[in-house]
A and B are shown apart, each in its own frame.
Chain A
Amino acid sequence: GNSVTQMEGPVTLSEEAFLTINCTYTATGYPSLFWYVQYPGEGLQLLLKATKADDKGSNKGFEATYRKETTSFHLEKGSVQVSDSAVYFCALSDPRAGRRALTFGSGTRLQVQP
């Protein structure tokens, strides 16, 4: 079956530091990959996505590249802000195989200190 593994948190960084949150996946088909973010007191929001190999998703300064050879989709940001403090979830779906439901990782809490 499909699964997603992401680095455990919390990750604590100082403002303007470089961020990497690792995510690897196992899938039987050819999945689409996502990063969702949950800010305190809010629901899940799509941060970025990539639907095929070597695609790069980007949004709000965050980037992730779909690496089929390493089955990874690591999230990066060059300079984090306090407002980036949230829980980040890596996820996949496989609509081509009829599996639209998202499979999530366990989430990584990011704390950015001023």
Chain B
Amino acid sequence: EAGVTQFPSHSVIEKGQTVTLRCDPISGHDNLYWYRRVMGKEIKFLLHFVKESKQDESGMPNNRFLAERTGGTYSTLKVQPAELEDSGVYFCASSPNLGTLREETQYFGPGTRLLVL
């Protein structure tokens, strides 16, 4: 079974440009999460999809970030326009939906390393 995949693995852009990151979750996983790790600090939550719906977007830093999950399969995270402080590693994770009181394991992708110059 294929794991979580992310594309691209690396991206180098200039300040003000637009970048779109893609995440393909494990097939059948309803939950999809985006996280990022900036400047070697802690990994921080960005948002959570359940199928195509945004369940929790409390971690999105500002309106320059737009996440979509059309059709409830893969997801994209667009940064427009990118700023220097957006540099970091963006992780995607997915998990199956086992009900509200059961713990499910989140499976992470390898991450996209974004550098904004």
Contact = CB atoms under 8 A, between A and B. Distances in A.
Chains A and B bind each other? yes
Dominant SS at the A interface? strand
Interface string B74-117: 00000000000000000101010000111111111111000000
A102 interface: yes
Nearest to B47: A101
Interface residues of B, number: 29
Contacts of B102: 95
A27 B5 CA distance: 31
Interface in A55-93: 89, 91, 93
Classify chain A: how many residues form its interface, as a range. 20 to 34
Nearest to B3: A43
Interface stretch (B14-22, B35-43, B65-73): B35-43
A101 B33 contact: yes
Contacts, number: 62
A42 B35 CA distance: 16
Nearest to A105: B42
Contacts of A102: 33, 35, 43, 45, 93, 106
Contacts of B103: 32, 49, 51, 93, 95
Contacts of A104: 35, 42-44
Nearest to B59: A101
Nearest to A93: B103
Given A43-B109, A44-B91, A45-B108, A101 B100 contact: no
Contacts of A32: 103
